């Protein structure tokens, strides 16, 4: 079974700075998809970014980018120029079904 | 366009009771998935339905069941409620439910279920 591990329960960052959230996973599959979701206190889960395992190029979406290391089974999320609205729980997910325990990110003014 | 809608928003039940949670997908979406999110944890996959057929099932007991209707809305039923069933239940919809498609899932706000 695939497992997803987020080893940082909580993180904080100053506004306008950069922060990286870590995620590792375990699978025997060669083709799969990885996701980062954001869940603000209002609780609706929102897709941040998605990576297809067969693609070498790391996905980017505006201020959000990933560092996908397939051999190491690592999928970290980098948030650049952090904004107060980025404060939320962030979940890493494998194939949109298996989620990590989450990282609570707080952006400080 | 309306997003994924779930009802009720909050629900309080006692142990041993039965509960039905409802989900209406985004118009045009034919796949609905259900997740359980216990406080402080990530969502756990319960079921996925596509075109009224069960496509996937997570590691949950038979007390949990679901179905999808011709209009693609869905119900999640939980029988013989236990204290451990207290959680936020999330519904997500997508066009096909296939991860390989370039269409992401959209989540509803969830139903907060409390068991006393």
Per-residue model confidence as pLDDT tens digits over B14-36: 999 999 999 999 999 999 999 99
Tell whether the model's pLDDT for residue B98 goes beyond 90: no
Q: Are B55 and B95 in contact (CB under 8 A)?
A: no
Mutate which of B43, B46, B98, B106 to disrupt the A interface (most A C-beta within 10 Å)?
Answer: B43
Looking at beta carbons, which residues of chain A come within 8 Å of B45?
Answer: 97-99
Backbone angles phi, psi at A33, to 5 degrees: -130, 145
What percent of chain B lies above the pLDDT cut of 90?
Answer: 85
In this prediction, residues B51-77 reach a mean pLDDT of 95
CA distance A45 to chain B (A): 6
Question: Picking from A64-68, A89-93, B39-43, which range would have the lowest pLDDT averaged per residue?
Answer: B39-43
Tell whether the model's pLDDT for residue A8 goes beyond 90: yes
Tell whether the model's pLDDT for residue A73 goes beyond 90: yes
Alpha-carbon distances, residue B29 vs A92, B25, B53, B97 (angstroms): 24, 6, 14, 9
Distance, CA of A76 to CA of A18 (rounded, Å): 13
Question: Picking from A78-87, B56-65, B95-104, which range would have the lowest pLDDT averaged per residue?
Answer: B95-104
Question: Picking from A40-54, A95-109, B44-58, B77-91, which range would have the lowest pLDDT averaged per residue?
Answer: A40-54
pLDDT at B104: 83
**More confident call, A96 vs A16:** A16
Looking at beta carbons, which residues of chain B come within 8 Å of A4?
Answer: 42
pLDDT at B101: 67
In this prediction, residues A39-50 reach a mean pLDDT of 89
Decide if B41 and A47 are in contact by the 8 Å CB cutoff: no
pLDDT at B91: 97
Decide if B107 and A45 are in contact by the 8 Å CB cutoff: yes
Question: Picking from A27-36, B17-26, B28-37, B76-85, which range would have the lowest pLDDT averaged per residue?
Answer: A27-36
**Percent composition of chain A: helix, strand, coil (DSSP 3-state, to 5):** 5, 50, 45
Looking at beta carbons, which residues of chain A come within 8 Å of B40?
Answer: 101
Distance, CA of B34 to CA of B45 (rounded, Å): 6
- Point out the residue among B44, B88, B104 whose CB comes nearest to the CB of A50: B104
pLDDT at B87: 97
Q: What would the 3-class secondary structure string for B79-94 be?
A: CCCCHHHCEEEEEEEE
Residues 6+ apart with CB under 8 A from A28: none
Backbone angles phi, psi at A77, to 5 degrees: -110, 125
Distance, CA of B8 to CA of B24 (rounded, Å): 12
Q: Are B93 and B25 in contact (CB under 8 A)?
A: yes
């Amino acid at each position: 079974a695939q497992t997803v591990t987020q080893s940082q329960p909580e993180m904080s960052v100053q506004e306008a700075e950069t922060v990286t959230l870590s995620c590792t996973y375990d699978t025997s599959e060669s083709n799969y998809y990885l996701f980062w979701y954001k869940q603000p206190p209002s609780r609706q889960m929102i897709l941040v970014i998605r990576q297809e395992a067969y693609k070498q190029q790391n996905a980017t979406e505006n201020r959000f980018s990933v560092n996908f290391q397939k051999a190491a089974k690592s999928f970290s999320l980098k948030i650049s120029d952090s904004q107060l609205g980025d404060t939320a729980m962030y979940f890493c997910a494998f194939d949109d079904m298996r989620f990590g325990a989450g990282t609570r990110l707080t952006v400080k003014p | 366009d309306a997003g994924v809608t779930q009802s009720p928003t909050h629900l309080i039940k006692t142990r041993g009771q039965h509960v039905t949670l409802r989900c209406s997908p985004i118009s045009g979406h034919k796949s609905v998935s259900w997740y359980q999110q216990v406080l402080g944890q990530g969502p756990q996959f319960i079921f996925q339905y596509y075109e009224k057929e069960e496509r996937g099932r997570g590691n949950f007991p038979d007390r949990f069941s679901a179905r999808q209707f011709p209009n693609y809305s869905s119900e999640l039923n939980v029988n013989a409620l236990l204290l451990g069933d207290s959680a936020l239940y999330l519904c997500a919809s997508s066009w096909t439910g296939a991860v390989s498609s370039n269409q992401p899932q959209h989540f509803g706000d969830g139903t907060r279920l409390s068991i006393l």
